[in-house]
Amino acid sequence: MRRIRITVSYDGTDYHGWQVQPGVATIQRALEEVLSEIEGDVVHVDGSGRTDAGVHALAQVAAFRLTNPIPLPNLQKAMNRLLPRDIRVLDTAEAQESFHPRYDAVAKTYEYRLLRADICSPFERRYVYHYPYPLDEARMIQAARVLEGEHDFTAFAAADPIDGLGRSKVRRIFSSCLTRDGDRLIYRVRGSGFLKHMVRNIVGVLLEVGKGNLVADSIAARLKPGCKIPAGPSAPARGLFLVSVEYADQS
């Protein structure tokens, strides 16, 4: 039995997120259906995380087991031939039997794209949040830095079915940066892990800072243990991209 690791890129617009759900299209389901056809048996695919409905990925990492001896280049070609055109396998590699794309990850990077132009091209509308209204971008840039470090992100997390397990919502953010690039505001965040809707909620709060409805100190207040401020507002999924997943064995 082989353990195979793949890097996948996808346009999440027409999918209900990563995780298999009854009766709807998901990225995990699409991968498992294709691999099961190649294997001639049921194949389960593990992912590095559960992207939400409408969220995109430049480089999601996944892994699965196969008995089929198909060479990796041929496997990649077969998967891309069978997959929908909005999902593509970028890379394949043999992995250690124990490798798990989620539990072995040491860092992930997400990017959120805000379009500030007056008009949004119809060719961009699926991949940005169009916000042409006045914002104090300097205050937003300053506020984004407050999130760096190790904090309790309960106030930035949506309710999750696994909340009942009592798992910690403390995460370490290595970098949190908002920059202007032409007509776009780009928020890029790299951290040890992320909670449900966490990045979208961060962007939503940064927008409130830009509108003048919140001050930077209100972000610090949300990071205090025991904070009871409700999560949100949440920015739309279409502007969010999983950029990369990092592992300790990477050179």
Give the least confident one: 157-161, 223-227, 244-248: 157-161
Res 251: pLDDT = 42
Q: What's CA 121's distance to the chain center, in Å?
A: 24
Active-site entry in 11, 52, 104, 181: 52
pLDDT exceeds 70 at position 11 = yes
Query: Is 52 noted as a catalytic residue in this protein?
Result: yes
pLDDT exceeds 50 at position 30 = yes
Mean pLDDT of all residues in 135-147: 95
Q: How confident is the model at residue 218 (pLDDT cuts 50, 70, 90)?
A: confident
Please state, rounded to an integer, the average pLDDT across all residues of the chain.
93
Dump pLDDT digits (tens) for 40-69. 999 999 999 989 999 999 999 999 999 999
Domains (ranges, CATH) in the chain?
A: 2-94 (3.30.70.580), 106-247 (3.30.70.660)
Which tokens sit at 166? 């009592």
pTM over 0.85: yes
- For residue 232, is it left (φ>0), alpha (ψ between -120 and 50) or beta? left
Nearest to 239 by CA among 186, 189, 194: 186
pLDDT exceeds 70 at position 108 = yes
Mean pLDDT of all residues in 169-174: 93
Residue 210 and residue 136 in contact, taking contact as beta carbons nearer than 8 Å? yes
Nearest to 248 by CA among 79, 147, 98: 98
pLDDT exceeds 90 at position 126 = yes
- Residue carrying structure tokens 């006045």: 134
Percent above pLDDT 70 for the chain: 96
